[in-house]
Amino acid sequence: MGLSVALNLIAVSGCVLLLCGSSWGINASVPLVIWHGMGDSCCNPLSMGAIKKMVEEEVPGIYVLSLMIGKSVVQDTENSFFMDVNEQVSFVCDQLAQDPKLKGGYNAMGFSQGSQFLRGVVQRCPDPPMKNLISVGGQHQGVFGLPRCPGESSHICDWIRKMLNSGAYTDTVQKHLVQAQYWHDPLNDDLYKKHSLFLADINQERVVNETYKKNLMSLNKFVMVKFLQDTMWFGFYKPGQAKELETLQESAIYTEDRLGLAEMDSAGKLVFLATDGDHLQFTREWFNDNLLPYLH
């Protein structure tokens, strides 16, 4: 496939890199909200800026809001590491509620950690209504280890790993390190359930919040994209060990239906997609064929 007809999106840690593209048409104008991944920003021309531009080209007239968490691109990037996730979700909920272009509802697309953060938005903030949630490489049952840290040899990645390995569930680390708030240690499940400030809450690990469940089930579609050379999915390790994986359908979050996922699955609201490649690697052709149909 030549450069004139293909768009390659190549992962750069939490980002995606735009190389080339073509066009695809949808007659729709439901707004789209995008939340970037770790170490990325709203407006990086090689990642979210490119995604925004591509969608605008493919869906004429669409309003695309690529979320900036903070007052600048630099602050947005820093906040993807150090701003309390619950505060980020509240910040976004306020921003969406104040945007008149979203009052009729919107679709949402999260990349990597932005996926579970947007799920926090739909569970906690039903107004304006989210119609479809598209999770691109999201880690909805958390991570154990820190893959794809931007700049694998950088001091910040080394420091984050040290903090996570030595004290992910301490109050200080939980409050000030984003990745700690979706750190899920399968060997210390009790600590995770007790001290996780974000993930354990939105996954109903401590108590079932019926409002969370009702709000998530209000989605028309919850689309989850897995990369076949990646381990980030709604599945996770089987309890008590860190070698054998289980699927979403095998996990307690599904069998106990704490979020309504089993009911949504039966109703055809869950969509599972897979593509070759590692974390956040896909072509424009694949994006157009598989994800654009949910942006209407």
| Strand stretches in 4-70, DSSP E | 8-12, 15-18, 32-35, 64-66
Active site residue: 184, 185, 230, 251, which one?
230
Cα–Cα distances (Å) from 160 to 93, 113, 152, 166, 234, in that order, read 27, 15, 11, 10, 23
Of 130, 133, 142, 105, nearest to 225 by C-alpha is: 133
- Contact 42/92 with Cβ under 8 angstroms? no
Question: Is 266 noted as a catalytic residue in this protein?
Answer: no
The rounded distance, in Å, linking the Cα atoms of 209 and 126 is 14
Contacts of 276 (CB under 8 A, 6+ apart): 227, 228, 229
Active site residue: 41, 47, 66, 112, which one?
112
* Length reported for the chain: 296
Residue type at 170 in one-letter notation: T
Question: Is 76 noted as a catalytic residue in this protein?
Answer: no
The rounded distance, in Å, linking the Cα atoms of 216 and 206 is 18
Question: Is 279 noted as a catalytic residue in this protein?
Answer: yes
Active site residue: 36, 140, 195, 279, which one?
279
List residues with catalytic annotation. 112, 230, 279
